[in-house]
Chain A
Amino acid sequence: AQTVTQSQPEMSVQEAETVTLSCTYDTSESNYYLFWYKQPPSRQMILVIRQEAYKQQNATENRFSVNFQKAAKSFSLKISDSQLGDTAMYFCAFMKHGYGGATNKLIFGTGTLLAVQP
């Protein structure tokens, strides 16, 4: 079974600074996706970034980038130029590639609560 671990329950960063959130996962699968979702105080789950396991290049989306280390099963999220609106709970999630149309449920970590300080 796959597991996702986020070892940092809470983090804090000053506005305009850079912060990195950690995530490790355990799987015997070779083809999968990894995601970061954010959940602001509104409780909406918002996709931040995704990474395909077969791609060596790290994904980037504006101020958000990942450091994907497949051998180490590590998937950290870097937020540059942090903004007050980045304050949220961040969830790392794993999805097995569903060959032949098998289910692709998301398996979530426990989350990291990020507070951006003015």
Chain B
Amino acid sequence: DSGVTQTPKHLITATGQRVTLRCSPRSGDLSVYWYQQSLDQGLQFLIQYYNGEERAKGNILERFSAQQFPDLHSELNLSSLELGDSALYFCASSVAPGGGTSITDTQYFGPGTRLTVL
């Protein structure tokens, strides 16, 4: 158990709908990352937050957004869903946002949310 929690574990929805994925980082971790794992794209970085502020964006679609709340949990919002959005979405957390040590910068992953868009 990494200490990172994600809910829900599975989500099945229809095209055009909107869903929210939730992540709670490890105790003491200030930085949260979202990754998407799909068969055709592999594991890709979406977005990073550090202590409530957006730190970096990766290959995140405009239909997707995220935020990190004062209690440090994070939510990833996916809207106008398409079939191609079906994937495993991971949240990871680390103590520091980068520029620290290998220990503070190491990312620990949650169990993931499997999204199926029908």
How far apart sit A105 and B107, CA to CA, in the bound complex (Å)? 9
Whether A50 and B102, one on each chain, are in contact in the complex, defined by CB atoms closer than 8 angstroms, is yes
**Interface size in chain A (residues, C-beta < 8 A):** 28
Whether A108 and B43, one on each chain, are in contact in the complex, defined by CB atoms closer than 8 angstroms, is yes
- 8 Å CB contact of B109 from A44, A99, A111: A44
Whether A45 and B90, one on each chain, are in contact in the complex, defined by CB atoms closer than 8 angstroms, is yes
- 8 Å CB contact of A98 from B45, B88, B92, B97: B97
Whether A111 and B42, one on each chain, are in contact in the complex, defined by CB atoms closer than 8 angstroms, is yes
Which DSSP category, helix, strand, loop or mixed, fits chain B's interface?
strand
**Interface size in chain B (residues, C-beta < 8 A):** 30
Whether B43 and A91, one on each chain, are in contact in the complex, defined by CB atoms closer than 8 angstroms, is yes
Whether B56 and A95, one on each chain, are in contact in the complex, defined by CB atoms closer than 8 angstroms, is no
Asked if A85 is at the interface (CB within 8 A of a chain B CB), the reply is no
Asked if A52 is at the interface (CB within 8 A of a chain B CB), the reply is yes
How far apart sit A91 and B55, CA to CA, in the bound complex (Å)? 24
Q: Which residues of A sit under 8 angstroms from B88, Cβ to Cβ?
A: 43
How far apart sit A91 and B90, CA to CA, in the bound complex (Å)? 14
The chain B residue with its CB closest to the CB of A39 is: B37
Whether A101 and B98, one on each chain, are in contact in the complex, defined by CB atoms closer than 8 angstroms, is yes
Whether B42 and A101, one on each chain, are in contact in the complex, defined by CB atoms closer than 8 angstroms, is no
Given known pairs A105-B33, A110-B42, the reply for A97 and B99 (CB within 8 Å) is yes
Asked if A104 is at the interface (CB within 8 A of a chain B CB), the reply is yes
How far apart sit A41 and B100, CA to CA, in the bound complex (Å)? 32
The chain A residue with its CB closest to the CB of B109 is: A45
Whether A102 and B98, one on each chain, are in contact in the complex, defined by CB atoms closer than 8 angstroms, is yes
Given known pairs A43-B111, A91-B43, the reply for A103 and B102 (CB within 8 Å) is no
Q: Which residues of B sit under 8 angstroms from A45, Cβ to Cβ?
A: 90, 92, 109, 112
The chain A residue with its CB closest to the CB of B50 is: A101
A residues with a Cβ closer than 8 A to B are 33, 35, 37, 42-47, 50, 52, 91, 95-108, 110-111
Given contact pairs A44-B112, A99-B98, A106-B35, a sample of 13 additional A-B residue pairs in the complex whose CB atoms are under 8 Å apart: A33-B106, A43-B88, A47-B106, A50-B102, A52-B102, A91-B43, A96-B98, A98-B97, A101-B96, A104-B99, A104-B107, A106-B43, A106-B92
